[in-house]
Amino acid sequence: MQGKPRPAATVQEALARMDRYVALGIIGQQEVAQLLGLNVTDLTCLGHILGAGDNPLGAGDLAELTNLTTGAVTGVLNRLERAGYARRRPDPADRRRVRVVADPAAAARVFAVYEPFYARLGAVFAEYSPDEVAVIADWFGRATAEVTAHLERVRASELGPVAPQRLGPVNPKPRW
């Protein structure tokens, strides 16, 4: 399939469209998580668990994929197990480790929510040539690496103060 002619776009226009897509994605994830009785972090981890398919992830793998600490992942796995979405299984190659698998019935509920959206995105991708899809996939992979690097800097507090600096003394008593 040949790609369709596309209108020109500047980097700033592309970034603005990306910002809108990401913002809608965040809101969408919150709504889907709420629908499924989860929080966004747990839903994100569940997505990685489901994406692993027949190669179940270990807790360390999940921590690396999500950029969470292993302690945070332990809390996520505890909540996913309590909610019936996932369970831990001993690693057949190393009994000291565990692997995480999704509950099939829970996976079906999650897929029922996401399949219509992925079908819509599939229709969008169908309008692009294989070479264009390769460029899009490459961009997402490279952008993910940049997000990860930026998040590391944010977490290391390398980007300056989070709260605005106060310009004068704080007066704890109202003036009225």
Q: What pLDDT is recorded for position 176?
A: 47
Write the pLDDT tens digit of every residue in 17-37: 999 999 999 999 999 999 999
Write the pLDDT tens digit of every residue in 69-122: 999 999 999 999 999 999 999 988 888 888 999 999 999 999 999 999 999 999
The Cβ of residue 135 has, within 10 Å, a number of other Cβ atoms equal to 13
Can you tell me the distance from the alpha carbon of 176 to that of 103, in angstroms, rounded to the nearest whole number?
61
**Residues above pLDDT 90, as percent of the chain:** 73
Structure tokens at 67: 């950029």
For the chain, the distance separating the N- and C-terminal CA atoms, rounded to the nearest angstrom, is 72
- pTM, 2 dp: 0.78
Q: Decide: 85 and 116 in contact? Cβ < 8 Å.
A: no
